[in-house]
Amino acid sequence: MLALVLLVLVAVVTAAVLRRGAGAHPRRPAPGAVAVEPVPRRPGAPFRVVAGVAGGAAALLYLWGVLCVGLAVMAAEDGGAGSSPPRPCRTGVSPELSGTVVGHSASYLPLGLRCETADGGGYDSADIPGYLNPGVAVSALTAVGGAVAAGYATERRARATVRRGGR
């Protein structure tokens, strides 16, 4: 549930930043063309772009992680011959350790599949890539930081305009 709230928060911040627009980049006129006054860029435009890209990356990485966890759970719960210990719990560990597995638990925040052993301990399955959780966290924080920086730049420009008398 917390993962869904985090994902919605990142999506809302990204949508709000992208709704404001990333600004317009002036183009050079062709030789002999009538010169047109360039459109000024809005304050915070680069930050909005960073926030949008980072928010999209966070959402995609999280969806990739959910898919990896879901596939690992499906493989772990697949019955039949050779299903004990579960296949995701056999990957990347010694046969002695995987032979002590008595269960597993899935987590969607942080993303992972934990193989539980008979002695009360456990270990993380190697089927879930280790870069997912740090990647999602860094991308989400970058998106939020970009949105905050864009808002700060816009507010700073607005306050400076008011101080100059609205010019």
pLDDT of res. 25: 46
pLDDT of res. 39: 61
pLDDT of res. 161: 83
Q: Report DSSP letters for 61-116, one per residue.
A: HHHHHHHHHHHHHHHHT--STT-SS-HHHHTTS-HHHHTTEEEEEEEETTEEEEEE
| Residue entry with tokens 């493989």 | 75
β-sheet with 111-117: strand ranges across: 101-108, 111-117, 122-124
- Pick out the chain residues at pLDDT < 50: 22, 24-26
Pick from 115, 116, 118: nearest CA to 128: 115
* pTM of the model as a whole: 0.69
